[in-house]
Structure formats: structure tokens, C-alpha cells
Chain A
Amino acid sequence: MATAYAQAAYRPLLKVAVVGHVDHGKSTLVGRLLNDTESLPDGKVDAVAEMCRQRGMPFEWAFVTDALRAERDQGITIDASHIRFSDRNRDYVLIDAPGHREFLKNMISGASGCDAALVVIDAEEGVREQSRRHGYLLHLLGVRQIAVAVTKADRIEFDAARFGQIEAEFRRLLEELGLSPTAVVPVSGRDGDNIASRSMNTPWYRGGTVLDALAAFQPAAPAVDRPLRIPVQDVYKFDTRRIIAGRVESGRISVGDDIVFSPSNRVARVKSIEGWSVESPILYAEAGYPVGITLEDQVFVERGEVISHLVDAPIETNVLRARIFWLGDEPLSVGDRYRMRLGTADVQVDVEQVERVVDTSVLRAADAKSVPKDSVADVVLRSRAMLALDPSENNPQTGRIVLARGDDLVGGGLVDMDGYPDQRQLITRRSTNVTAVDHAVTEEMRMARNGHRGGVLWFTGLSGAGKSTIAIELEKLLFQKGYQVYVLDGDNVRHGLNANLGFSPEDRAENIRRVGEVAALMSQAGFIVLSAFISPYRSDRERARLAAGNERFHEVYVSASLDVCEQRDPKGLYSRARSGEIADFTGISAPYEPPEACEIEIDTAALDLTRSLDKILSYIERHFPYAPRD
């Protein structure tokens, strides 16, 4: 892929978070650093001087990045600023993160994804609550390179002994996390000591400046050497291509590779790697690059699956342990239910166990049943759906989770699978056994006896469009003609096969998935199956099509408009949905995705029942001719 994007190399970009306790001088350090490296535009210092004059206060370097009026008025950083800045050799993004406990979520938003961090500690105050907490969180966020700036050194008269105490204390804390600082620098923002140039006030200090510390950080390299992982972001059908889109999180994918989608365990071969505005065909793509692939095989793929090679595939499991940081206002407790995001997958999980809670302000672990705001804990989560993941130590990109309540992100953490088995083998073995069975009765033999081919007529449309009415009448007519025919509808499925499913989006999808599989089996048995479900989502219907096989599957769009259906309202459901009594009602408060290319459309607003039946019957006679043997 690099060949397609030929260009002159230029300066690398490094992301550095500036973190630490509130009021320890992060913004001042950043403002000073920008000024001393001549990175501020003309007039900025004058504008800051004017803001300070209006407030009747001495010059404040922090106003360079505290861009919000409320921040300047309160003298506190509320949200992280991302600031571009350059030294002789490369470009940086400095992320000036807030140090106030109340804005911890903003610190995390700023610091995640950084290559390195600069922890700022006030020389007078020493290591404080947020210094510790930020140190711990950097570790959980995956930031491993940490330098320390001990600020306001002028206030301790550049005292070497006091500096040594702070350095020793913070080194101990980082060591507990398995980290060691790359530098510990005594600085003063007031006069710029040891920020961009060496200070005369610290003759006892032998190390470099803050600028030197930044220059020594190494940029994180994309994980090209790890096994291939591509979480599927989407499947595009904008033109004749069916493109599976995602970002290569690790490893490398090439045209012709055999790949497996997890957790569905479907195998396929890469036909092409698509690109737009590229000079030559793309033959491979490495970690870090966005890709779109097409497949040699027609398999059903959806967002949330993970692409890997057949060897070194991710773990499949429905239970996991994670070390999480918790930002929710309400504590996280055993039995709670959350949305969990894992790459592009978004599933429901239940908190099965809280193993231990770490108080990050004192770094002490304790047994507890619930996890209070702003703390770190080891928890066990269980999902109904199978998941594809990696332990974070093997692959940070696919080994981290984010918890959400509704759509609000309330926590995140790293997956640790110690003691939990990979469940992939169970699934694979089971499906191998099934496919191993060879039917001695062939499709042709069944067809010869029945006098017709088996197949699925999948009726879809809004509630009240007439799906069931048509299906029931059609079943009668076809049966009289001699066809083997059966209607699958909500009544005969919900009471038995799907009795354990409710009406949540997941359960609805599962309901349709099972109906699709049953319809496929019955069609293989020689039946014409008439399924009558709203089945509002294209993806669900596409899955049913794949289950039955394209040649057996006929999508029948019963296309009465919402207005027409709502006027009919045979069961009074629309009025109950309008009044809010029924939630997530298709057409009113939940979407209906009409078919893009159905085999046959029946508009029951234009055609009465008889004409509708005429139309579908003539279609069936064409595609499923009845020719009994004499």
C-alpha cells in the first residue's frame, strides 16, 4: 500500500499528553514551551497580556491554551487542548489535559492514544491524589513512556534535596506499575528554567530540558508484526462490488489470503483490496491502513466481526475479565447490564463479578461488591453473544473494551483472559460434525416425490401490510394444488422455538435468524415455506437469504405505505405505538428498511387480496412449477 501512496517523507508526529494534579502548572508549562520555541503566532502574547490586564492580574502563560472564557475566569483547565508544536526534528501534538478530579473523563479523552506523557508535579505540593491517579490511568490507557516535570522549582529555591524527594516518590509509584520515567526535570514556568534551555539555577541537575525529554520519546509503531486483525466497520454495496471495510489494527492482509471471520467462524478468500484514486492495484495492506476487501466466496458478514488468518485467530468467548477504569456517576455493581464496545462490535454484557477495586488515589486494592466513580477494578463480564477478542498483552487494539450506559461511555479497560478458555474449538467441532453428515436422500429424490422444488418465500413489509393474510390464503391455495407448503409466522414460532426471546433489538434479530434457519431446513426438506414477519432490517433478511441459498430464496415485498397500514390498523397497534404505549414500533419509532432488490413486490394498496394472490401465484407457478409423476 505504501507504493500507492508514494510521497516525500517528512517530519514524524508525536502525541504527548501533559497530565498531573490540578494547579500544578500544566497549562503554564505548555504556554511557556510554545513561547520559548517561538511556536506562538504574532500577537498571541499581546492578546494574553490584554486578557490579564482586563482581569487585573499578572501575566498568565496558561491563558495561551485555556481558550474558553470560563477557564480563564476560573483559572482552571476544563477540557484538554490539543496544540501543535515543533522542534528542530519533528512535530508534536501536546495535549494539555485538565487536572481537576471533576474533569477526569476529559483527561482520559486527551491522554488515550498518546505516544507518551509528561507528568507535571508541583515542587511545593509534591505527589498528590491526581498525580497518582493519572500515573495509574496512563498505564491503563497504554501510555508507557513517561517523563516528569517538577514545576515551580523557583518556589523551593531550586532545592536539590526537595527535588530528590519528589523524584524518588514518583519513581516508586511508577515502578509499581512496571514503568520507569525517561526523565525527571526540575523546571520553573515563570522564567522558563529547563523548559527549552538549561537553567543556571540548577547547577546540581545533570539531565536535559523538557524539550530534550520530548525529543527522546519514541513514536509508537503500528503493530505490523502481530497476527492480522481487522474489525469489520461496515459492508458497502454502493456499486456492483460488495466491499468489507475496516482498518488493519495489526498484521498484514494480502490478496489471495484465506481469512476467517470471528465470532461467526466463516471462512473466505480475499479476492481484492479495493482503493480509490490509487495508481496501481493494491496487493497488500499493513497495520494502520484503512482497507476495503472483496471476497471470492459469498459469505454473510456484518459489522463487529473480526478478520484474521486461519492460524492465530482471536479468542472466542462469552465471558471475560477486564481491568477497567470507571467514570460512571453511578457505581458499577454485580448484576448491572451495560453495552460493551469491543472494536466495532457492540454487545450487551452483564457484570458477573467484581474481583477487586483499586483506590487509585492511594493505590490500594480491596474487595468490594461495586466500583465507585473514578476508580479502577478487575471485573468479570458475561455477554449473551459470542465475542472475538485478544488478551490486551497479546494485542492492545483488540484487547480493550469500552463500557457504555445507553450511548454514554462510562468506562474502559484491558482484557485479561487468564483462566478463561477459548471457546472457538467447541463451536468449530460442533459445526464440523453437522456438515460431515451426508444425506442419502438427495434433493432430486425429494423433488421427484413432491412434484416441485423446495424454497422460501420471505414476505416482508410493515405491520398491517397484509403479509399474513396473503400467506395464509396462499398456503391454502397451494396445498389444494398439491404443493408441500407451510406458513411460518409469529404465532407458531414465538410460542415454541423462540419462546425464550423477547422484543429487544438483539432478540428480534435472533428471532429472525432462527426463522431463517428453520425456513432453510424446511425448504431443503422439499417444502415451500411462506414466512410472514415484518423483518424490518435488510441485514436480517440478507442473512436469511444466505441460510437458504440465493437460488431457493425469494423475497416478497408487501409494500403498502405507512399511511395505508396505519389507517387499516387491524390490531390497533399503530394507535398504541403513537401514544407511546408500544416502544420501538416499526414505522413509528423504529425503522423499516425496504428491500433494495426483492424478487417480487405486491402493493396491497393498489391490489385487492384476489389480485395480490393472482400475482404471487403466477410467480410461484413460474419458479416452482408443479409436475407430479403419474
Chain B
Amino acid sequence: MTPLDTLESQSIYIFREAYARVDRLGLLWSLGKDSNVMVWLARKAFFGHVPFPVLHVDTGKKFDEMYAFRDRYAAEWGLELIVRDCPPVEEMDPSLPPAARSAARKTAGLNALIGERGFKGVIAGIRRDEEGTRAKERVFSPRGDGNVWDFRNQPPEFWDQYRTDVPEGCHLRIHPLLHWSELDVWRYIKRENIPLVDLYFAKDGKRYRSLGDRDITFPVDSDAATIDEVIAELQTTRVAERSGRAMDHEAEDAFERLRVAGYM
């Protein structure tokens, strides 16, 4: 069994547990590389079908390439796509730093969508190696009243047994890619030939390593124009993956506050 086989097997197991044990699932599709891998894994787990809706919480500020990608592959892959827009930035917590405040719109849109559709499980493509608080996440992570993450008291989770029930008004975040690294994701994209928006590949010495809203996401210096070049770059880089995501770096705990409030 290769390491990619092991990662894939674990993700498929998580998907099938979620589908068997949690009612009303939705899968968050941000159109980035990780969530594309996630949709791919869902199709593997369920033999070509994605048996729950795929959710795009749309800030309206994504790159044009991303919208085109969404519409093309939603149709091609037969996804049940739900698009939900986000409230304006004026309604967000003014004590947050500017980029975090802007990113909080996505949390607000997601929380509204969860309420409207009554989702009990929201599948999200976060990974432990992306960021410190994500490194402490559970695979089935309960979100309490007001969709808050209670990181002080996470339920135990061992031997692939997960707490899959939450009280009324609460929901689960389900993280099938939690144990993957950025490099794993790229190697898997290469192995499986998974389509991506080309913003990830270098043009004029710059490429996006992580994709978010147009105005708070910045490209990194890179000449990696192919998957192989990206993999080679990541094997040696010492730049953090989310260095181009402004909201992570505005204050010591800006991102932690976003996550506690329900950000992915």
C-alpha cells in the first residue's frame, strides 16, 4: 500500500461513516485544489455518485476562472450544486482586523445556509498541516450553539470511531482531508489527473498557492508552471502555504477567532 493509498482509504472511510451516520450532509466546495480532491474522493467512495449537495458559499469576490470552473464541473460531474451568497462586510464584527472581517462574510453565509437547509453535517476540506488550530481539529468536529467551535472540550475520537450525533441546533464539521499534507494533495492530483483552475500555476513569476477572495489573497513568487514543478517547489520551500492569505496574519489570534466563530 503506498502512502497515497493509505490517505485515500482513510478519507473514503470517513466519507462512508459520515453518509451512514449523519443525516442531511452537504459538502463545501470552495473550488480550490483541496475541495476538488474532496469531491473526487466522494465520487470514489460512492462509486461515481456524490449523494449529497455540494455547497458553494459565494462571497462574490472569487476569481473569474473559479466561477467558470464551478459551472463546468458541477455539470460534468453531475453535482447537486447549491450556491449561497454572503451578507455584506458592514454586518461583520467591526473588532476584527480588515481582512479577517472580510473573510468573516463567508462564515456568516455558511451559517445562514446551514440554518436554512437544516444541515447536520458539513464536509470541509481543511488539513492539519495548513495552520496551527487546524492541527488540533477532530475528524468529526461538533459546532455548538451559534455554530461555535469549543476547542477546549473536543470529544474523544479513536480507532475510527467518531461522535456523529449532535443536539438540535448544532452541527458537525466533517474533515475527510484532515490528515493530508499540501504535498500529498498535489501528488494525488497528479496521480488521479484531477482538474484545477490554472491560477495555481505560475505566470510571469507568480502563482497562487492557496485561493480565497480576490482582494485578500496574494500570489507567491514562483516559476512552477506544471504539477511536477509545483511538487518540486513544495519539497524545498520554507514559505507557509497560507502566507498569501491576509486574514491569517493580521493579529496573533485573528484566524483562531474566525475559526471559533465557524470559519472552516
Contact = CB atoms under 8 A, between A and B. Distances in A.
Q: A and B bound?
A: yes
Interface residues of B, number: 56
B49 A238 contact: yes
Nearest to A286: B1
A277 B128 contact: no
Interface string A371-412: 000000000000000000000000000001010101111001
B44 A42 contact: no
A79 B256 contact: no
B229 interface: no
Interface string A35-64: 000101111100000110010000000000
A41 B238 contact: yes
Interface-centre pick from B6, B9, B136, B239 (highest chain A CB count, 10 A): B136
B74 interface: no
B155 A70 contact: no
A87 B181 CA distance: 16
Interface in B1-56: 1-6, 8-9, 12-13, 16-17, 19-20, 43-49, 51
A84 B133 CA distance: 14
B192 to A, nearest CB: 7
Contact of A276 (B3, B48, B133): B48
Nearest to A81: B135
A460 to B, nearest CB: 20
Contacts of A243: 47
B51 A51 contact: no
Contacts of A65: 132, 135
Given A13-B6, A69-B256, A276-B44, A41 B159 contact: no
Contacts of A7: 2, 4, 191
Given A276-B44, A402-B158, A70 B152 contact: yes
Contact of A79 (B151, B158, B191): B151
B158 A141 contact: yes
Contacts of B111: none
20 contacts: A10-B2, A10-B187, A41-B238, A54-B252, A65-B132, A67-B135, A68-B256, A70-B152, A78-B152, A82-B129, A83-B129, A93-B179, A109-B138, A141-B158, A289-B9, A290-B12, A290-B16, A327-B156, A402-B161, A408-B155
Interface of A: 2, 5, 7, 9-13, 38, 40-44, 50-51, 54, 65, 67-70, 78-84, 91, 93, 105-106, 108-109, 112-113, 141, 222, 233-234, 236, 238-239, 241, 243, 245, 247, 274-277, 286, 288-290, 292, 303, 327, 341, 344, 400, 402, 404, 406-409, 412
Given A238-B48, A402-B158, A409-B161, 18 more contacts: A5-B5, A41-B240, A42-B238, A67-B133, A67-B136, A70-B152, A105-B155, A108-B158, A109-B138, A109-B154, A234-B16, A236-B47, A241-B47, A247-B13, A290-B12, A292-B47, A406-B165, A409-B157
Q: Which 4 A-B pairs have the closest CB atoms?
A: A67-B132, A407-B165, A112-B158, A41-B240
